[in-house]
Amino acid sequence: MGRSETELMLEGYGLTTAEFFYGMPDYTRVLNSFTWQDYDLAPDYPRLFRFIEFWQNRIEGPLHSVRFTHRKLVAPGAWQNVTGEFTLH
């Protein structure tokens, strides 16, 4: 069983979004784009590079370029455990 998104964020993972530009196998001058998103660890980005290796080994469309962004959504010090709740009305 995998870890939840919250557990990943508390362990330092951030949301990585990558846009892949690739050539069509039959139309080499036509570029398409594909968007990929997963939780990954900066600055090494092991999941992103594993996906790029998968693409290069298994998918016919040659990669032209990849651009990506990474954002930590929650830092370990920013999370607080709430132990109570007040209801008004």
78 falls within a domain: no
pTM assigned to the model:
0.77
84 falls within a domain: no
- List, for residues 5-36, the tens digit of each pLDDT value: 888 888 889 999 999 999 998 887 899 999 99
45 falls within a domain: yes
How many residues does the structure list for the chain? 89
Q: How many domains does the chain have?
A: 1
81 falls within a domain: no
Sign for the pseudo-dihedral over CA of 63, 50, 5, 68: negative
Q: Give the 3-state secondary structure of residue 64.
A: strand
Which phi-psi region, left, alpha or beta, contains residue 16 (left: φ > 0; alpha: ψ -120 to 50)?
beta
Domain that holds residue 35: 5-72
54 has pLDDT over 70: yes
80 falls within a domain: no
